[in-house]
Structures are given as C-alpha cells and as structure tokens.
Amino acid sequence: MCPDNVIRRFAGVFILLSVALGMFVNPLWYWFTAFVGLNLLQSSFTNFCPLEKILAAFGVLGCKRTA
C-alpha cells in the first residue's frame, strides 16, 4: 500500500504533464489525461490502483508490497 498523497502527487503530475503536452506538442496526448482520470475513477470504486502496484514493486516513497 502507498500513502494516498503519493498516488495523488503522481496523478497530478501525470495530468498536468499530459495537458501541457496536449497543448504544445500534439492533442492526442489528451487521451493520456483521460486514461489517468478513468484510472482514478475506477480505483475509487474498486480500491485497485495499478500505479500503486508499480510503485510498491520499486519501493518508492514508503509504498510496500501487499500479499
């Protein structure tokens, strides 16, 4: 499990970065913004977050693997 603020920070950075890329590079980057938003929405219902699993595998910022 990761602390909620770690997941929120990563999500915020991903969203801001993809919006900037969509504005300045290619509008297709907005699909990544939508993907992050949908992932946040589904995790609020299912309590499953793929980013949490990835961060736990790398031991990032206090994230620990769960059985």
**Domain tally, the chain:** 1
Confirm whether 34 is domain-assigned: yes
Is residue 38 within 8 Å of residue 27, measured between CB atoms? no
Name the residue range of residue 13's domain: 4-62
Confirm whether 26 is domain-assigned: yes
Residues 2-51 pLDDT 10s: 777 888 898 999 999 999 999 999 999 999 999 999 999 999 999 888 88
Confirm whether 36 is domain-assigned: yes
How far CA 6 is from CA of 12, 21, 61, in Å, comes to: 10, 22, 7
Confirm whether 30 is domain-assigned: yes
Confirm whether 67 is domain-assigned: no
- Tell me the pTM: 0.79
Confirm whether 55 is domain-assigned: yes
Helices of type H across 1-67: 4-24, 30-46, 50-58
Residue 55 has pLDDT above 90, yes or no: no
